[in-house]
A and B are shown apart, each in its own frame.
Chain A
């Protein structure tokens, strides 16, 4: 069963002269109970997309539905059944943890007790501090509280807009574990993130860039669709190395990647031909080895492919 459908969504901001296209025809489908990642850099259109799907923003074109309900016409029914956690912490800072949770439970016409089992794993971690004001919580605790508030009415679809931005590595890991346990309860989860490494934690991901979707696939699918051989190259003088690599005719693309440069090799060239070329250039200790592409390599390839076309 399909839970969320976006069909050719467009959204633009600004007037006449300087129109910014936030979304340029975005389409995808999310299955029920799926953990769907929307991955893209800042300004790709992730938040606009989420705000349309949560009925906060009207699309300029295209249609979208959540649980079979149209986001424009049936917005009231959608609001009953989605949970939304905005990118910025937006709960009442001057109310305590418990008061915030109680407040959101009440405006959804439910109580904490009724859906306690759903949030138990998350809420129990912050419950010892339930009399503390939300503004005085640490980042990780705020995030847990926000997630609890978004879940308290037992939504069927959960929208999380960049939930892990600005959160430390340990809390991020914890957060993804929470999401996976929520998925087991049958909740459809859409999560947006600028971090590529989180893509592999989703069931399927949509790579988004400049308001357009580059690819929708499983993380493995995205990686296996990467056709070119990939090398990691390392040397004492990284800048010179990068310049040399980019000049070589057998190289499709070369970019810095941590302590290595990743080199995309053209058809007909191989690891040995690159090594030979580099040795010809009289570089010292060159280290070249083949690697498997990860999602970031795929994203860079898709992004540059988009740029070329």
Chain B
């Protein structure tokens, strides 16, 4: 016990004497949580629109007005030539071209039917997809308005109509920050837990101090616990800082109990620390550890459901998310923060992550050798 206490004392002294670690611990969560949620936005706004109006009629003007006043589109160009508009797309000046044919108004009135043409710049898939969908729904809306104006509807609608009203549960205003902030917080905790820990051990290898420790009678588990505990505490500290920022800056107050979050985080940190430890046993210098961490972090984040929905991934990718600890924490965070889930609801998550912790740590301890 005395040995462990001294190992911990040494570790904390080193951590708090390293100004860069302090900066990472306090600056990283603040900057990421204060800036990223504002930028990492799912909504597509400011879609550059080019309108090719061959008609120049009351109706076409009304349509353009309606589209631009929606707030999603910015009228980049209003011209009478499609070639012109396409050039705008080629120069990446506009994302969408809406072409209104010559006798748009005439046909609409006389034949009760008219066509419109939409060309989409699909280089940015998300923007193209959403932009097209927005425009389509605005045009549909316009269509209905025109109909209401022209056709005197009978008392009972002659055609069947399904009207959909939706209500957003757990996040009534669909505020994406409510689920982005907890997700980013998870990424932060993961980074501190696994990568700071692995870098720390690899640094001892690099400087050669591990050699000096290895010739001493210090037990393997003492040394490993001496490394795990400080970063476990740091991880919980980051979580606390992050939750505070979420509260103060975004007014996000977990619906569920904080105790549930901390319980899960405590188990989760054991798993990611095990991962960090494992990384450190396979790498021999900080550069290798950094690159490996970077690679894993990319995979973890992109396959965690933080930015894209897991359900829409192909089957093999869905399978990999099952062995990604980050997925579980993000899920739990959203469940607890937005839905108010309790310990019972997340028990499967806890057991799974506990399983990860056992496997990763055992593997790391077996692979950590005091001699070569």
Is B one of A's binding partners?
A: yes
- Least CB distance, A15 to chain B, in whole angstroms: 15
Q: Which of B196-213 contact A (CB under 8 A)?
A: 207-209, 211-213
Could you say which residues of chain A place their CB within 8 Å of the CB of B208? 86, 88-90
Query: Does B14 count as interface, using CB distance less than 8 angstroms?
Result: yes
Instruction: Report the Cα distance A149→B207, complex, angstroms.
Output: 16
Could you say which residues of chain A place their CB within 8 Å of the CB of B215? 54-56, 79, 82, 84
Could you say which residues of chain B place their CB within 8 Å of the CB of A104? 212, 216
Q: Which of A75-93 contact B (CB under 8 A)?
A: 75-76, 79-80, 82, 84, 86, 88-93
A91 touches B13 (CB 8 A): no
Instruction: Report the Cα distance A133→B14, complex, angstroms.
Output: 11
Nearest A residue (CB) for B215: A84
Counting chain B CB atoms within 10 Å of each CB, which of A75, A79, A89 scores highest? A79
B213 touches A107 (CB 8 A): yes
Known: A79-B215, A90-B207, A95-B14. A107 touches B3 (CB 8 A): yes
Mask: chain A, 86-111; 1 = CB below 8 Å from B; 0 = not: 10111111110001001110111100
Instruction: Report the Cα distance A93→B209, complex, angstroms.
Output: 9
Could you say which residues of chain B place their CB within 8 Å of the CB of A55? 215, 371
Instruction: Report the Cα distance A109→B212, complex, angstroms.
Output: 16
Mask: chain B, 210-228; 1 = CB below 8 Å from A; 0 = not: 0111111110000000000
Query: Does B372 count as interface, using CB distance less than 8 angstroms?
Result: yes
- Least CB distance, A58 to chain B, in whole angstroms: 6
Mask: chain B, 1-21; 1 = CB below 8 Å from A; 0 = not: 011001100100110011000
Q: Which of A163-177 contact B (CB under 8 A)?
A: none
Query: Does A57 count as interface, using CB distance less than 8 angstroms?
Result: yes
Could you say which residues of chain B place their CB within 8 Å of the CB of A92? 10, 14, 209
Known: A79-B217, A86-B211, A93-B207. A58 touches B372 (CB 8 A): yes
Could you say which residues of chain A place their CB within 8 Å of the CB of B207? 90, 93
B217 touches A90 (CB 8 A): no
- Least CB distance, B225 to chain A, in whole angstroms: 13
B371 touches A56 (CB 8 A): yes
- Least CB distance, B141 to chain A, in whole angstroms: 65
Could you say which of A75, A90, A106, A133 contacts B6, with CB atoms under 8 Å apart?
A106
Could you say which residues of chain B place their CB within 8 Å of the CB of A90? 207-209, 211-212
Known: A104-B216, A106-B2, A106-B3. A95 touches B211 (CB 8 A): no
Nearest A residue (CB) for B6: A106
Known: A56-B372, A57-B371, A107-B218. A99 touches B212 (CB 8 A): no
Known: A90-B207, A108-B216. A103 touches B10 (CB 8 A): yes
Could you say which residues of chain B place their CB within 8 Å of the CB of A95? 10, 13-14
Could you say which residues of chain A place their CB within 8 Å of the CB of B14? 92, 94-95
Could you say which of B212, B218, B371 contacts A58, with CB atoms under 8 Å apart?
B371
Nearest B residue (CB) for A54: B215
Counting chain A CB atoms within 10 Å of each CB, which of B14, B18, B217 scores highest? B217
Known: A56-B371, A58-B371, A91-B209. A79 touches B216 (CB 8 A): yes
Mask: chain A, 192-213; 1 = CB below 8 Å from B; 0 = not: 0000000000000000000000
- Least CB distance, A66 to chain B, in whole angstroms: 11
- Least CB distance, A124 to chain B, in whole angstroms: 23
Instruction: Report the Cα distance A89→B206, complex, angstroms.
Output: 12
Known: A86-B208, A106-B3, A107-B7. A56 touches B13 (CB 8 A): no
Could you say which residues of chain B place their CB within 8 Å of the CB of A79? 215-217
Could you say which residues of chain B place their CB within 8 Å of the CB of A84? 211-212, 215
30 A-B pairs within 8 Å (CB atoms) are namely: A56-B214, A56-B215, A56-B370, A58-B372, A75-B371, A76-B217, A79-B215, A79-B216, A80-B217, A82-B215, A84-B212, A86-B211, A89-B208, A90-B209, A92-B10, A92-B14, A94-B13, A94-B14, A95-B13, A103-B6, A103-B10, A104-B216, A106-B2, A106-B3, A107-B213, A107-B217, A108-B216, A108-B217, A109-B3, A133-B17
* Contact surface of A with B, Cβ cutoff 8 Å: 54-58, 75-76, 79-80, 82, 84, 86, 88-95, 99, 102-104, 106-109, 133, 149
Q: A-B pairs with the 7 shortest C-beta distances?
A: A90-B208, A106-B6, A84-B215, A79-B217, A94-B17, A107-B218, A90-B212
